[in-house]
Amino acid sequence: MRTLSKKTQYSLRALYSLARSHRAGPRLIVDLAEQESIPKKFLEQILLGLKSAGFVESKKGRHGGYSLARNPSEITLGEVIRRMEGPLAPLPCASETAYRKCDECADAETCGTRMVMREVRDATALILDGTTLADVCARIEQAQGQKADADALMYYI
């Protein structure tokens, strides 16, 4: 299976960070880059792409920076990953949005590999389209709380 590009991984990290501070107003690129350990120049390019895709908006001036363009509960990982990487399907013949018959395939309707890759695509889409930035932030908070509890327990042992 293909892996997410560094650009997509950084995009998601930046979006999670913006989601966590959604109500606090715009964030400066320099602060976001430092907090998420993303190279500033790379983050600038990423944020411009996310802005053109409608995920973030920018504000110039004294209290400027970047913020989410929509509520974190309205942005799914599926739409972000599709925008950054293209279709979710591992093969073009299994894609919903960018179907293309494989050159080697004699009959796409009876191809066993295509059938299985459609299932992979459907399962992936179900998870990614059903998971929002808000969902991921809640999972992060829960994991951090569990880690803090475990660390505190270890301190007392």
pLDDT over threshold 80, residue 134: yes
| Total number of domains constituting the chain | 2
Residue 19 sits in the same domain as residue 63: yes
Q: Which of 45, 56, 10, 14 is nearest to 31 (CA)?
A: 14
Burial 58-90 (b: 16+ CB within 10 A, else e): eeeeeeebbbbbeebeebbbbbbbbbbeebbbb
Q: Are residues 67 and 87 in the same domain?
A: no
Mean pLDDT for the chain overall? 91
Model confidence band, residue 144 (pLDDT cutoffs 50, 70, 90):
confident
Query: Could you tell me if 68 and 45 lie in one domain?
Result: yes
pTM of the model: 0.86
Q: Which pLDDT band holds residue 1 (cuts at 50, 70, 90)? A: low
Give the pLDDT confidence score for residue 101 in this predicted structure.
86
User: 3-state DSSP helix/strand/coil percent for the chain, to nearest 5?
Assistant: 65, 5, 30
Residues 29, 63, single domain; the answer is yes
Cα–Cα–Cα angle for 65, 68, 73, nearest 5°? 160
Predicted pLDDT of residue 104? 82
Assigned token pair, 153: 């327990």
Residue 157's pLDDT band (boundaries 50, 70, 90)?
Answer: low
Helix (H) or strand (E) holding 44: helix 40-52
Distance CA 8, CA 83 (A): 9
pLDDT for res 75? 98
